Structure 1
Amino acid sequence: MRTDLKHMRYFIVMGEEQHFARAAERLHMDQSALSKAMKDLEDDLRVSLFERSTRSTRLTYAGKVFMDECRRVMNVVQQARTTAQAAAQGFRGHLRIAISDALAQPRMTELFTLCRSEDPEVEIRLFEMPVGQLVRALQQDEVDAGFTLLHEPGEGYTAEPLWHDEVAVAMPARHPLFGRKRVKLTDAVQYPLILAHPELCQGGYAYVDAMLEKLPPDSGQPMIAEHVSGHESMLMMIGAGYGVGFAIESQIAHFQRDDVVVRPMESGLPPVTTYVLRGVNEPSEPLAKFMERARRIGGLQESERSFGPAPDAPPDAAQD
């Protein structure tokens, strides 16, 4: 037997589950047939891919290495399929763009509108995912670039700042802070907080966490009422009176609700920076043009842009 795509697909599922019954169920096949397929694969490769016992089935080191290679091969095959399908529909290229941290900023709308106007023959596919998944997707060539609020260090990709935004506080209508033109952070934290989820919206959570750490000691310990996965959930909780929340001012202004008001924060707070992450290899022509448009819309000077991993990001930031 020569190792083929079918056996690679079986092995990936088996490696993820590390349990023959669960893997067979996912693959809609008989467990004995899956067991034989894995044995044939090991015989063909002349290596042991699994450590088997009566209680568990685990990947060997060779199995883990082979898993990475199988995923790379399957990604290449999927990309070939996507390219062929896009070509059949009249496109002359495609981009896989990931969105993290529940980003839906006006500048991003402007960017994708510009791409559609200037390069309509390039298909853009969008994927929403947490930052940790975005990092792995870049490393495994599953996406071409991704947007996040987290300046993420790591191998195989770079992080580049695109634009800065101001932070604002959202509060229930008729809130005691309603009359303020600008809200001080020390005043906002006197009320229960609705914050971004530390895993699902890691970039937003990291920004607010850093902001709260700089509070004066006499401000008291902020009370966290809830962690939410996105702006819709946050605004629902705020509108119901459960607390206040922080968000990008330009983005939150587009969520118009009668039961929520938005006020800018005090001056002096650091801006919220949106980054684009991409692979370190020479970009394809569609990706190079996409990056050029993103920089054009971002408007940062050359000296403000950083190419490469950030040395000051938290070391465990990629965990989700």
Structure 2
Amino acid sequence: EMPLDQQIKGLHDDLYDVGFSMAEEVGDGIVVRPAWEDELMVAVPARHPVLAHKHVPLEEVLRYPLALCDPAICEGHARQVDRVLQRYEQQPLIAQRVASYEVMMTLVSAGLALGLAGAAHIASGRGPGVVARRLAGKSQMLATYLLHRDVEPSEMLARFIARVDSIDSADGSSAAEDS
């Protein structure tokens, strides 16, 4: 994990063959390919009032303080979540912008904020005291992209890209939800 600008520099400098990012606008000389999607969910402290909802309306989420990813660190994730939030008139109450999903889950677990993240991130970083809930309405999906230099890929890299292209984004999409 690293900021997008460092990842792009590493790809251009041939330090890395490939990278993954949630940002699709990366500049010249880099190919951006959709890799998979993950459902946007809300991480909720145990015993929080929004747990009365099996699927939480985003309007309800916006009534509470949020821990969101820092755009300087998690640029693509922050952009995608901000696009979802901009569809609503109500401005989010941002308790803290965080540098990692682990910090987000810590704030949620402590009862200081709700978190918005992909189902896989919530499932992998969720500790005791954090419950994952789907958002009400149409599922909002967060995209992850595979990045590589705009040159003919090596045989090994071409096989890797083909393998990523074959990933079924529906696999495990509800793994983080607790009833």
Q: Which amino acid aligns with 1:277?
A: L
Aligned CA distance change for structure 1 residues 198 and 284 (closer, same or farther; 3 Å): same
Aligned pairs for 1:198-277 (under 5 A) are 198-215=71-88, 217=89, 219=90, 221-277=91-147
Aligned CA distance change for structure 1 residues 253 and 144 (closer, same or farther; 3 Å): same
Aligned pairs for 1:67-86 (under 5 A) are none
SS at match of 1:274: strand
What is the alpha-carbon distance in structure 2 between the residues aligned to residue 174 and residue 167 of structure 1?
Answer: 21
Structure 2 spans left out of the alignment, 5+ residues: 171-179
What is the alpha-carbon distance in structure 2 between the residues aligned to residue 268 and residue 175 of structure 1?
Answer: 23
Q: Which has the higher strand share?
A: 2
Aligned match for 1:181, one of 39, 54, 73: 54
Using the size of structure 2 for normalisation, the TM-score is 0.89
Deviation at 1:289, TM superposition (A): 1.1
Q: Which has the higher helix share?
A: 1
What is the alpha-carbon distance in structure 2 between the residues aligned to residue 156 and residue 147 of structure 1?
Answer: 16
1:225-267 CA distance string (max 9 Å, x none): 0111111111111111111010111331233422111101123
Deviation at 1:270, TM superposition (A): 3.3
Deviating above 4 A after TM superposition, structure 1's stretches of 4 or more consecutive aligned residues are none
Query: CA RMSD, aligned part only?
Result: 1.6
1:292 and 2:162 equivalent?
A: yes
Between Structure 1 and Structure 2, whose CA radius of gyration is higher?
Answer: 1
Deviation at 1:298, TM superposition (A): 4.1
Structure 1 spans left out of the alignment, 5+ residues: 1-127, 301-320
SS at match of 1:204: helix
Quote the residue 1:190 is aligned against: 63
Aligned match for 1:156, one of 3, 12, 29: 29
What is the alpha-carbon distance in structure 1 between the residues aligned to residue 129 and residue 12 of structure 2?
Answer: 43
Q: Which amino acid aligns with 2:3?
A: P
Aligned pairs for 1:101-140 (under 5 A) are 128-140=1-13
What is the alpha-carbon distance in structure 2 between the residues aligned to residue 246 and residue 290 of structure 1?
Answer: 30
SS at match of 2:51: coil
SS at match of 1:199: coil
Q: Which amino acid aligns with 2:112?
A: Y
Aligned CA distance change for structure 1 residues 163 and 146 (closer, same or farther; 3 Å): same
Deviation at 1:153, TM superposition (A): 3.7
Deviation at 1:190, TM superposition (A): 0.5
Q: Is the 8 A contact 1:162 1:298 kept in 2?
A: no
Work out which structure has the larger RCO, using CA pairs closer than 8 Å and 6 or more positions apart in sequence: 2
Deviation at 1:195, TM superposition (A): 0.4
What is the alpha-carbon distance in structure 2 between the residues aligned to residue 225 and residue 173 of structure 1?
Answer: 18
Percent identity between matched residues is 38
